[in-house]
Amino acid sequence: MDCHDKSQIGKESGKSGDESFPRAALAGNPNVGKSVIFGLLTGKYVTVSNYPGTSVEVTRGTAKLPGGNMTLLDTPGVNSFTPMSEDERVTRDILLKERFDAIVQVGDAKNLKRVLMLTVQLAEMGNPFFLVLNMGDEAASRGITIDYEKLAGVFGVEVVPAIATQKKGIDRISKAIRNPMKSAFSLRYNEHIERGIASMEPLLPESGISKRSLALMLLAGDNSLVSWLNSEVGLDVVKKIELIRQEVDDHFSESLGYVISHERVRAVEGVVRQVMTTETVRKTSLAVRLGSWSMHPVWGLPILLAVLYAMFVVVGQFGAGTLVDFFEETIFGNYVNPWSEKIVKALIPIPILQELIVGEYGLITMAITYAIAIVLPITGAFFIFFGALEDSGYLPRLAIMMDKIFRVMGLNGKAVLPMILGLGCDTMATMTARILDTKKERIIVTLLLALGVPCSAQIGVILGMLAKVSLAGTLIWGGTVIGVMLLVGFLAAKVLPGGESDFLLEIPPLRVPKITNLLVKTLGRIEWYLKEAVPLFILGTFVLFVADKIKLLEVIERVTAPIVVSFMGLPAKAAESFLIGFLRRDYGAAGLFKLAEAGMMDGVQIVVSLITVTLFVPCIANFFMIAKERGVKMAIAMSAFIFPVAFLVGGLANGILRGFGVTL
């Protein structure tokens, strides 16, 4: 959930990279600490979490190092430079299409074998690089010792041990980045493959990586290269290359990609045996045991419930209760609003302008009050809680618990990650859908995020309102929203073409969240929220103000009355909340919050209105993100589907609840 990176969507943030500086890129396996090191070298914060796939885009920054500045790139993690998903492709394409003076390979010291699989490929690419072995503390606690000197000797590049979260090794990295070396390590493959490489090399174009490396990727059957190659050398040469590939392929019963990585594994295992020793560590730490319990078929459930309950306490009771009371009643009720009213009335003699600022639909009395006094405290509480959850490594374990449920919707446990991230910010989560392998899954996740996953700002307001209704009301709301998502997901899975992908997800170790990272991350997200949401709140309020003045609001309320009042059984004024809910549904929810506070809705009405607004498209930004990631047509089609469904479900819920005479 890299909410505050929103400004960089669509392009890599190019603003802080000066092209005249030497250039370096961070690359490595997922979840090994590339973003931490990037942050330490550039002073620029990139969201750091404890699950693979936190970074799905490239971030650029300037590292101020002894001896001059450098442009540094942080890339999404990969397990192979022959990409298997969109985010992996981003990294390979960067290495292919750009030139770097240095590549910094970051690896997890306790997973040396997987690190060196990439090292072998980097050596083949022929770029100057060096290796950082991060998380030395975790490796040591598992009884792993690595002979760094010997490893450096094998590959002919510098190997720097590091513990990035404690800033250990950073000095050496900032020196090593000046003197990277081309690796002397060269793996000789099976003779058929070598012959294939030799005949392919003359046909290949110049690029950021060596022809040998490019040939190996092509032999491995990397189709993502074809369109690039087509534009570089033309269709005829591409056909020749494919012929060579097929000729080599005929010599093996297994796929060439597999044969190549098998040879790499064998070579890497030889190196690992030379440089790494493992002592058996007998005691299992509490974190390891807790990590096991949290994905246990039986114990996992009480842990999940405990996490949900903790969220309810932190966000619903503390955030929406204590904090909102304090901000709304004390700060805004007693000070900000009365004072600004006095000041405005004293300074501005024109009544209509007074009303614009402090009236019923006033910028301060409505927009700022909603944004700062109601939504911000709740969202802030959520950001802290959610950040802790992200950094603990619990989220991938949740994916294990929910895999079966997600299969109903044509997805698997891997899709749990973007969906849960949607609880933070649906817009960013829409982008994270890239970690999924098939287009079908990305579409389903995007649709479900837009349809039913309430984002932090909204979930807070909703929990705050539901806490005052009843547990039954909360369950009806949750059950309805989840039911609609399951149904829509199920149908979408049936209707959409395309297959399901494999569930294969790396589970990071459980870690104690670092307070500093938690604070920086939360502050970054709050800043994002203020920048992103407040202007829309102000715009929405202004629209309401104008609509009210020209009596349009009355018309809208009259026109929508058959739906809002008759079908959904809500007060006519709820139409206002739905109207601003089109901009941001948390803003709509905040309007409903006020209605409920004013005692204008009973329990059933609150639940019905919340169901409806939860099923709205999250916000304008989310709409644009869908358009960017999935195309404008898709964004419009999804919206055209979602809004009617929201009102339909709300109306049905009303009919059923009233029909059975339920009171909440």
**Residues in touch with other proteins (CB under 8 A):** 79-80, 82, 84, 108, 110-111, 113-114, 117, 139, 142, 144, 220-221, 254-255, 257-258, 261-262, 265, 292, 295-297, 300, 396, 399-401, 403-404, 412-413, 502-509
Contact 340, 417 (CB under 8 A): no
Least distance from other proteins to the Cβ atom of residue 235, Å: 24
Least distance from other proteins to the Cβ atom of residue 407, Å: 10
CA 149, CA 61: separation in Å to the nearest integer? 31
Least distance from other proteins to the Cβ atom of residue 189, Å: 15
User: CB-wise, 89 or 110, nearer to other proteins?
Assistant: 110
Least distance from other proteins to the Cβ atom of residue 37, Å: 20
Look up residue 58 and give its amino acid: V
> At which residue do the structure tokens 């942050």 appear?
39
Least distance from other proteins to the Cβ atom of residue 169, Å: 19
User: CB-wise, 149 or 502, nearer to other proteins?
Assistant: 502
Residue whose C-alpha is closest to residue 508's, from 52, 7, 41, 9:
52
User: CB-wise, 84 or 620, nearer to other proteins?
Assistant: 84
Kindly list the distances between the CA atom of residue 299 and the CA atoms of 289, 293, 303, in Å, as whole numbers in the listed order: 11, 6, 6
CA 342, CA 333: separation in Å to the nearest integer? 13
User: CB-wise, 268 or 590, nearer to other proteins?
Assistant: 268
Give 48-77 as a DSSP string: --SSTTS--S-EEEEEEETTEEEEEEE---
User: CB-wise, 228 or 503, nearer to other proteins?
Assistant: 503
Least distance from other proteins to the Cβ atom of residue 426, Å: 24
CA 611, CA 478: separation in Å to the nearest integer? 8
User: CB-wise, 503 or 567, nearer to other proteins?
Assistant: 503
Residue whose C-alpha is closest to residue 212's, from 322, 125, 134, 107:
125
Kindly list the distances between the CA atom of residue 66 and the CA atoms of 27, 242, 360, 649, in Å, as whole numbers in the listed order: 22, 47, 58, 61
Least distance from other proteins to the Cβ atom of residue 81, Å: 10
270 pairs with which residues across the strands?
Answer: none
Contact 422, 459 (CB under 8 A): no
Give 176-199 as a DSSP string: HTTS-B---------HHHHHHHHH
User: CB-wise, 107 or 180, nearer to other proteins?
Assistant: 107
CA 216, CA 214: separation in Å to the nearest integer? 5
CA 446, CA 451: separation in Å to the nearest integer? 9
User: CB-wise, 174 or 292, nearer to other proteins?
Assistant: 292
Contact 143, 279 (CB under 8 A): yes
User: CB-wise, 189 or 503, nearer to other proteins?
Assistant: 503
Q: What is the CA radius of gyration of the chain?
A: 28
Both structure tokens of 37: 């090191």
User: CB-wise, 176 or 505, nearer to other proteins?
Assistant: 505
CA 308, CA 302: separation in Å to the nearest integer? 10
Angle formed at CA 22 by CA 164 and CA 6, multiple of 5 degrees: 60
163 pairs with which residues across the strands?
Answer: 168
Residue whose C-alpha is closest to residue 448's, from 615, 220, 260, 662:
615
Q: Is 81 exposed, middle or buried (0-12, 13-18, 19+ CB in 10 A)?
A: buried
User: CB-wise, 16 or 278, nearer to other proteins?
Assistant: 278
Least distance from other proteins to the Cβ atom of residue 133, Å: 13
User: CB-wise, 98 or 247, nearer to other proteins?
Assistant: 247
User: CB-wise, 82 or 458, nearer to other proteins?
Assistant: 82
Q: Residues with Cβ < 8 Å from 337, sequence gap 6 or more?
A: 358, 364, 365, 369
CA 38, CA 44: separation in Å to the nearest integer? 7
Least distance from other proteins to the Cβ atom of residue 503, Å: 4
Least distance from other proteins to the Cβ atom of residue 627, Å: 29
| φ, ψ (nearest 5 deg) of residue 24 | -135, 150
Least distance from other proteins to the Cβ atom of residue 508, Å: 8
Both structure tokens of 426: 């649906």
CA 454, CA 379: separation in Å to the nearest integer? 12
CA 170, CA 185: separation in Å to the nearest integer? 25
User: CB-wise, 85 or 458, nearer to other proteins?
Assistant: 85
Both structure tokens of 531: 């920048």
Q: Residues with Cβ < 8 Å from 271, sequence gap 6 or more?
A: 116, 151, 154
